[in-house]
Structure 1
Amino acid sequence: MSATNGISSGSITVGQGAEAREIAWKRRGAAGKGPALVWLGGYKSDMEGTKALALDAFAAEKGFEAIRFDYSGHGISGGAFSDGTISRWLEESLAVISRFAPEEVILVGSSMGGWIALRAVQEILARGLPVRVKGLVLIAPAPDFTVELIEPALSEAEKHALETLGYFEEPSEYGPEPYIYTRGLIEDGRKNRVLDGLIATGCPVHILQGMRDTSVPYAHALKLMEHLPADDVVLTLIRDGDHRLSRPQDIERLKAALCEIARA
Structure 2
Amino acid sequence: MSDVADSLEPSFLSIGNGDDQRQIAMQLRAARKGVKGPTFVWLSGYRSDMSGTKALELDALAERLGLSCIRFDYSGHGQSGGRFTDGTISRWLEEALAVIDHAKPKRIVLVGSSMGGWIALRLIQELRKRKKTPAIQGLVLIAPAPDFTIDLIEPNLSDVELTSLAERGYFEEPSDYSLEPNIFTRALIEDGRANRVLTGIIETGCPVHILQGMQDQDVPFSHSLKLVEHLPADDVVLTLVRDGDHRLSRPQDIERMLSAAETLALHNHP
Identify whether the pair has TM-score above 0.5, normalized to the shorter chain.
yes
Superposed CA offset, 1:8-54 (max 9, x none): 73100111122111000001110122100000000000110000000
Which residue in the other structure is 2:239 paired with? 236
Instruction: Give the letter aligned to residue 46 of structure 1.
Output: D
Counterpart check, 1:190 vs 2:189: no
**Paired residues for 1:184-263 under 5 Å:** 184-262=187-265, 263=267
Q: What is the rounded CA distance, in whole Å, between the counterparts of 2:86 and 2:7 in structure 1?
A: 33
Helix, strand or coil at the partner of 1:121: helix
Which residue in the other structure is 1:110 paired with? 113
Instruction: Give the letter aligned to residue 20 of structure 1.
Output: Q
Helix, strand or coil at the partner of 2:152: helix
Unaligned runs of 5+ in 2: none
| 1:72–1:232 CA distance, 2 compared to 1 (3 A) | same
Superposed CA offset, 1:173-204 (max 9, x none): 01111000000000000000000111011111
Q: What is the rounded CA distance, in whole Å, between the counterparts of 1:176 and 1:8 in structure 2?
A: 27
Which residue in the other structure is 1:98 paired with? 101
TM-score normalised over the length of structure 1: 0.96
| 1:246–1:212 CA distance, 2 compared to 1 (3 A) | same
Q: What is the rounded CA distance, in whole Å, between the counterparts of 1:62 and 1:69 in structure 2?
A: 20
1:132 to 101, 119, 135: 135
Give yes or no for contact 1:7–1:27 (8 Å, CA) kept in 2: no
Q: What is the rounded CA distance, in whole Å, between the counterparts of 1:159 and 1:6 in structure 2?
A: 42
| 1:234–1:251 CA distance, 2 compared to 1 (3 A) | same
Give yes or no for contact 2:6–2:51 (8 Å, CA) kept in 1: no
Give yes or no for contact 1:200–1:231 (8 Å, CA) kept in 2: no
Give yes or no for contact 1:40–1:113 (8 Å, CA) kept in 2: yes
Equivalent pairs: percent with the same residue? 63
Aligned-pair CA distance for 1:128: 2.7
| 1:87–1:152 CA distance, 2 compared to 1 (3 A) | same
Give yes or no for contact 2:140–2:260 (8 Å, CA) kept in 1: yes
Helix, strand or coil at the partner of 1:42: coil
Instruction: Give the letter aligned to residue 249 of structure 2.
Output: S
Helix, strand or coil at the partner of 2:252: helix
Superposed CA offset, 1:63-114 (max 9, x none): 1101100000000100000000000000000000111041100010000000
Q: CA RMSD in A?
A: 1.5
Instruction: Give the letter aligned to residue 224 of structure 1.
Output: L
Q: What is the rounded CA distance, in whole Å, between the counterparts of 1:129 and 1:17 in structure 2?
A: 29
Instruction: Give the letter aligned to residue 31 of structure 2.
Output: A
Q: What is the rounded CA distance, in whole Å, between the counterparts of 2:107 and 2:9 in structure 1?
A: 20
Which residue in the other structure is 1:152 paired with? 155
2:53 to 50, 53, 70: 50
Helix, strand or coil at the partner of 1:197: coil
| 1:191–1:129 CA distance, 2 compared to 1 (3 A) | farther
Give yes or no for contact 1:108–1:114 (8 Å, CA) kept in 2: yes
Q: What is the rounded CA distance, in whole Å, between the counterparts of 2:12 and 2:245 in structure 1?
A: 33
Give yes or no for contact 1:209–1:221 (8 Å, CA) kept in 2: yes
Helix, strand or coil at the partner of 1:127: coil
Helix, strand or coil at the partner of 1:51: helix
Count of aligned positions: 261
Give yes or no for contact 1:23–1:92 (8 Å, CA) kept in 2: yes
Which residue in the other structure is 1:33 paired with? 36
| 1:62–1:147 CA distance, 2 compared to 1 (3 A) | same
Give yes or no for contact 1:205–1:231 (8 Å, CA) kept in 2: no
Q: What is the rounded CA distance, in whole Å, between the counterparts of 1:105 and 1:255 in structure 2?
A: 15
Counterpart check, 1:78 vs 2:94: no
| 1:258–1:127 CA distance, 2 compared to 1 (3 A) | same
Give yes or no for contact 2:88–2:192 (8 Å, CA) kept in 1: yes
Q: What is the rounded CA distance, in whole Å, between the counterparts of 1:175 and 1:5 in structure 2?
A: 20
Unaligned runs of 5+ in 1: none
TM-score normalised over the length of structure 2: 0.94
